[in-house]
Structure 1
Amino acid sequence: MKFGVVVFPGSNCDADCLHAIQTVTGQPAEYIWHKTGSVDGFDCIVLPGGFSYGDYLRCGAIARFSPVMRPIVEFARRGGLVIGICNGFQILTEAGLLPGALHRNKNLQFLCHDTFLRLENNTTPFTCRAAKGQVMKIPIAHGEGNYYADQETLQQLEANNQVIFRYCNPQGEVTPAANPNGSLNNIAGICNRQGNVLGMMPHPERCAEAVLGNTDGQLIFQSLLDFWQRRCG
């Protein structure tokens, strides 16, 4: 399985993602420059965190028009695996691969700390190693992580089981106090209707090794590898 990590001007989690993927999965991973016109040869594309194009205009709005995004959109629509983390999630919404938008945090402050997530759907390629309801500790680092969608879209997300992660307390209870940024329905991550595109605000690559004091993030990368191995027989 070959991973590609996209590098935009302003990306700052690209090296973290590449290292975590190689360490956790043992699979090949390469950078993909934002001006690249093809993603042929890759099995999973990662849009990492950071501040693409300095977050000018709004988060992800300019990155949406990078040359690499056209082949990524086509790749995703053919069923290719795509994960956007933090700024990558913002880019996926701007590109129309995921519904909704990420607004400024409710307290208007940049947040950088551990959060607890409850896994709502373990049938996706990104979560197939986990148990539904499993609680994970994964850090956030964002100023615009407040997930918003209109009520019709929210209802569709819930009905189609597209909400993958919710902010919760350590006991797995989804409460207002556990919501760090004001996201509707405590949403921390969603997938598209087909389940092959995931966007999440927390950073699994920052908690994927024991040396970091937490390995909960390994689940995302291990799930992808398990899914791919089953797909390939």
Structure 2
Amino acid sequence: MTSYPSTRNKVSTIFQQPSKYKMNVARTWAFTDGGFRPLQCSPGLDFVISKAKKYGIHLILGLVNNWDALGGKKQYVAWAVQKGQNLTSDYDFFNNPKVKNFYKNHVKVVLTRVNKITKVAYKDDPTILSWELMNEPRCTSDLSGKTMQYWITEMTRHFKSIDKNHLLEIGLEEFYGNNRKQYYPKSLEFRTDFVSNNQIKGIDFTSIHMYPDQ
């Protein structure tokens, strides 16, 4: 909504409400991959961070989406195809070198951006509590789960080589793979392992996504 001056005031309203009740953490996106809503249309995300600071809100910022909304991994794969890569699956996001470099470049550009309003680089901004590698990552093309483990490991190292000031989490929903398949056999389909994935060096805390109405 910060891409448009007519709706930008909603950001202040959103942050004011939880601030009244002493709530001080909010999660939002640091991506808009393709499409017509730009990530940083002046003042964009700079504005969001500046308003969060004003109202005492600390941000968890996701860096890409597993799902198609706002581009996601599908858009990254499409960009690679446009550059001549012979890719046939959205899951190539996790193992194609060019796609991974696209993502790494996005991470670097975002982390090193200097906020035009606060004059503070994102990687140095205490308003940002944490970064999130991906919203709800899944890789059902690899039955072993190793692709996801390798991707998280590689991207965590890349992140920490640029930003050592902030916490980092993955963005998992909480599927346990083979560890606890007796509790939810369907979780095997998603090829993530909440325990193993979160034990990767550089992952600082865990999060889960709850959908009580489903």
Under a length normalisation based on structure 2, what TM-score does the superposition of the two structures give? Answer: 0.34
* Bigger CA radius of gyration: 2
Greater helix share, 1 or 2?
Answer: 2
Greater strand share, 1 or 2?
Answer: 1
Which fold has the larger relative contact order, with Cα–Cα distance below 8 Å and residues 6 or more apart in sequence?
A: 1
